């Protein structure tokens, strides 16, 4: 059975992510212990809230360097994805630096509300095992005011007034800006793919 650790950094979505993974047959532990996290087969960094608060929580737990050093597959979800980047405008905070780039606030425009809340379309940019079985035009559920730029590490985009990175990958580190635990069959497929061989 796949041993998955959810990093307990105070995210409100911890329980729902755990339940979604357990339905897929994973053995899930929530932990803020660096040694336990390092021993897992898969690590997930969920998150809801502000980047500066999330990074402060990781520092309090002594997990910043531990997460930077992980070699097994790592998935950041929502705020957890944003924390994988170099920095964020939200609180003007340095983040984990696992993926290059700076997370910026979504621009409000006529007819475009911030925060971005609701279902939106995914547009895959390149093949990746995390998106196996998820085709162009499938929908996912987003709740966010900040977003990562579209770069060479972007696997799929979405748009809310402007394009942004919806799924990213750098090495063995992935991120999903949307909430897979709230994205019906599309989200379940992404999580199931994360539990498989991702080489």
| Tens-place pLDDT, residues 96-154 | 999 999 999 998 888 889 999 999 999 999 999 999 999 999 999 999 999 999 999 99
pLDDT-derived band of residue 166, with 50, 70 and 90 as boundaries? very high
Q: What's residue 117's pLDDT?
A: 95
Q: What's residue 190's pLDDT?
A: 98
pLDDT top residue among 49 and 170: 170
Q: pTM score, two decimals?
A: 0.96
Residues annotated as catalytic are: 78, 179, 181
Place of tokens 């979800």: 77
- Is the CB of residue 33 less than 8 Å from the CB of residue 40? no
- Is the CB of residue 36 less than 8 Å from the CB of residue 3? no
Q: With respect to residue 94, please indicate whether it lies within any of the assigned structural domains.
A: yes
Containing domain of residue 168, as a range? 3-194
Place of tokens 């105070």: 10
pLDDT-derived band of residue 79, with 50, 70 and 90 as boundaries? very high
Q: What's residue 12's pLDDT?
A: 65
Q: What's residue 80's pLDDT?
A: 96
Q: What's residue 59's pLDDT?
A: 95
Query: What CATH number does the domain containing 136 carry?
Result: 3.40.50.880
Q: How many domains, the chain?
A: 1
Tokens of 53: 């608060």
CA distance 36 to 95: 22
pLDDT at 45 over 90: yes
Q: With respect to residue 199, please indicate whether it lies within any of the assigned structural domains.
A: no
Q: With respect to residue 172, please indicate whether it lies within any of the assigned structural domains.
A: yes
Q: Could you tell me the CA-to-CA distances from 147 to 18, 56, 83, 116 in Å, in that order?
A: 24, 19, 11, 10
């Amino acid at each position: 059975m796949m041993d998955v650790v959810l990093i307990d950094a105070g995210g409100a979505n911890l329980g729902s992510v755990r339940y979604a993974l357990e339905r897929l047959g994973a053995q899930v532990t929530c932990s803020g212990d660096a040694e336990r996290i390092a021993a897992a087969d898969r690590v997930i960094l969920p998150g809801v809230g502000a980047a500066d608060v999330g990074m402060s929580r990781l520092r309090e737990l002594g997990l910043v360097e531990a997460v930077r050093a992980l070699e097994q597959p790592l998935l950041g979800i929502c705020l957890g994805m944003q924390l994988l980047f170099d920095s964020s405008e939200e609180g003007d905070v340095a983040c984990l630096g696992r993926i290059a780039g700076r997370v910026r606030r979504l621009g409000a425009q006529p007819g475009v509300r911030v925060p971005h809340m609701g279902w939106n379309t995914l547009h895959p940019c390149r093949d990746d095992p995390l998106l196996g079985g998820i085709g162009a035009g499938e929908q996912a559920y987003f709740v966010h005011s900040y977003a990562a730029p579209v770069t060479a590490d972007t696997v799929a985009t979405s748009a809310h007034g402007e394009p942004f990175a919806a799924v990213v990958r750098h090495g063995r580190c992935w991120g999903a800006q949307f909430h897979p635990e709230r994205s019906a069959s599309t989200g379940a497929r992404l999580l199931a793919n994360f539990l498989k061989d991702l080489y």
